[in-house]
Structure 1
Amino acid sequence: MKHYTMNLSESQLNQLKNGYSSFIKASDSEAVFFIAEHNQTTITALKNGKVTIEGIEINNELVLIKNFLNIKDYEAVGSSDAGSLDVFGPVVICSTYVSLEDIAFLETLDIGIQRTISMKKIVEIAPIIAKRLTHSIVILKPFKYNELSKNGFNMNKIKSLLNNHMIIKTTAKIDKTIPVILEQYCNPNNYFNYLKEEKLVYRDIEFSEKSETPHISVLVSSIIAKYAYLVEMHRLSKKLNLKLKLGATKDVDEQILEVVNTHGSKVLIEVAKCNFKNITKQNIEF
């Protein structure tokens, strides 16, 4: 069973409901705007704008909906990151070019415009995506991150420098001018201020806010970055003979002490971001 998720406006929801008026099925859920069955696919539209298409084959129905609502796909370069909210592991930045042909291909992998994708799904599809799509990626390992942090670089400045480099690298691989979209993590003015000492700065950027539906180029960049992050976390876990935890939770606080007690405090410089509060609040001496 395949599925695809998209987010629509209120007017688009009403338009879609009218289009499926002859195929609507009853639903008792207060969250559901309508459910329709058409061409052996189920279309579930929620009042919050989320629409899911499910079926054995869904591409024809997806094309039908896009054409009906006059939704135009467009190619773009998207940039996103992974690891910046995790104590352990690297910071990964990926910038990816997605053509119109790539969008059609990605939809066959059941990639919808949704922010939450399971780790299992990421591990399954990231190598396939990375092999096909033009992209640039950088993995900033903890040792280098800690070195930059000591020199006064905060996380947003580090991410801005790396995003700029990856966007320049990716756009250089394309022989035409297309939109560039960056998943926003700081004010655009601050972003360019972080780059004021750089000789080359890519400035024609659209900043995509977290609350917005991301372009698929941003989504696939996130997938590739997360996969690279997970691969590096697996390597570090093997090095310590301990499965390192994701995030920056209390469980991570406890694991930090476990790592220090087993391997000494200096190993944190090689496996963790040492300026995170999870580490600094524990007064660990390096």
Structure 2
Amino acid sequence: MSNYVIQADRQLLDALRAHYQDALSDRLPAGALFAVKRPDVAITAYRSGKVLFQGKAAEQEAGKWIGKAAAPSGKPKERETPAPTESKLGTLSAIGSDEVGTGDYFGPIVVAAAYVDRAHLDRVAALGVKDSKQLTDEAIKRIAPAIMETAPYAVTVLDNAEYNRWQRSGMPQTKMKALLHNRTLAKLVDAIAPAELEAIIIDQFLERDAYFRYLADETRIIRERVHCLPKAESVHVAVAAASIIARCVFLEEMERLSRAIGFPLPKGAGVIVDEAAARIIRERGEEALAGCAKLHFANTKKALDIAKRQK
């Protein structure tokens, strides 16, 4: 596939958008102003002013604009820039994304994304940032506000009622997580624009190809420079920061639900959770679980059995 790049100023970007108005795409990669999709050429214009032409007609289409470009670069790209190594990723200006709540019977799923640029890597790390699973709830509540003041972030909360609706429709939890990560990333990418974003790192719950297959029907997919890595919190401080923010929001949501129910709701999915769910059934009825629990977990049946025995 041929690839041509030109550098455009605001006037030229506006002219390009107007010229290709009939072929604008709803799916934008990270950092893009607009994208064009035609059978023989794909064009992506970035906030940096770079305009990338790809496809059989890339040279022909780019040629129409090179003479008008601010700083043209008509040479074809001989090869794609190789993906950075994990050690290199840790030094880049990057967004990290992580989720919590997927294994807890009570409470929502929370996805958070945080952006840490090169200039703030050490500053964020100095706050005591590490994987939220290694921190106590008290430490999470202490560290998270400092991170939120230092690093741009975005959060998406899938409450229990909506979770149960998605689950009843046949959606697996892995797809829920993919949708939530993509939507959270989109919010943060927009919020930090026009910052130069060098990488997006998701704490891996799926292989990258499977992750994007789940997003096929989304109107906007954040795709460019996305890496799905296991134990990503050890790769880039932004992922660890996101995990702490997500955990803090989850704890706040659990406290809110506990106040609404009338007693503290336990985390996890063990025996103590079964007992708490049975208490809710006895005091408020089985239907009350829909607003605070993930109903398809085995805990629901166990709680119903306990509640029957305790009548």
Asked if 1:168 is matched to 2:186, the reply is yes
Gaps of 5+ in 1: 1-68
Distance 1:273 1:78 in 2: 26
How far the C-alpha of 1:264 sits from its partner, in A, is: 0.9
Q: Which residue of 216, 229, 240 corresponds with 1:208?
A: 229
Q: Which residue of 189, 199, 206 corresponds with 1:186?
A: 206
How far the C-alpha of 1:283 sits from its partner, in A, is: 5.6
Distance 1:130 1:263 in 2: 37
Q: Which residue of 238, 251, 257 corresponds with 1:217?
A: 238
- Structure 1 partner of 2:267: 246
Gaps of 5+ in 2: 1-86
Contact preservation (8 Å) 1:79, 1:96: yes
2:200 alignment partner AA: V
1:274 alignment partner AA: L
Distance 2:302 2:231 in 1: 29
How far the C-alpha of 1:181 sits from its partner, in A, is: 0.2
Q: What is the SS of the residue equivalent to 1:104?
A: helix
Distance change in 2, residues 1:73/1:188 (3 Å): closer
- Structure 1 partner of 2:280: 259
Aligned alpha-carbon RMSD (Å): 2.4
How far the C-alpha of 1:100 sits from its partner, in A, is: 2.2
Q: Which residue of 129, 136, 158 corresponds with 1:140?
A: 158
Percent identical among aligned pairs is: 29
- Structure 1 partner of 2:121: 103
Asked if 1:272 is matched to 2:293, the reply is yes
Normalised to the residue count of structure 2, the TM-score between the two structures is 0.65
How far the C-alpha of 1:265 sits from its partner, in A, is: 0.7
2:134 alignment partner AA: T
Contact preservation (8 Å) 2:204, 2:232: no
Structure 1 residues 205-239: Cα deviation after superposition (integer angstroms, max 9, x where no partner) = 11111388241111110100100000010011111
List 4+ stretches of structure 1 deviating above 6 A: 69-72
Distance 1:151 1:133 in 2: 36
Contact preservation (8 Å) 1:87, 1:247: yes
Q: What is the SS of the residue equivalent to 1:196?
A: coil
Q: What is the SS of the residue equivalent to 2:105?
A: coil
1:1-286 equivalences under 5 Å are: 73-112=91-130, 116-172=134-190, 173-175=192-194, 176-204=196-224, 205-210=226-231, 213-280=234-301
1:237 alignment partner AA: S
Distance 1:147 1:162 in 2: 15
Contact preservation (8 Å) 1:188, 1:207: yes
More off after superposition, 69-78 vs 243-252: 69-78
More off after superposition, 152-161 vs 203-212: 203-212
Contact preservation (8 Å) 1:246, 1:252: yes
Contact preservation (8 Å) 2:89, 2:236: no
Q: What is the SS of the residue equivalent to 1:146?
A: helix
Distance 1:241 1:283 in 2: 19
Distance 2:178 2:216 in 1: 11
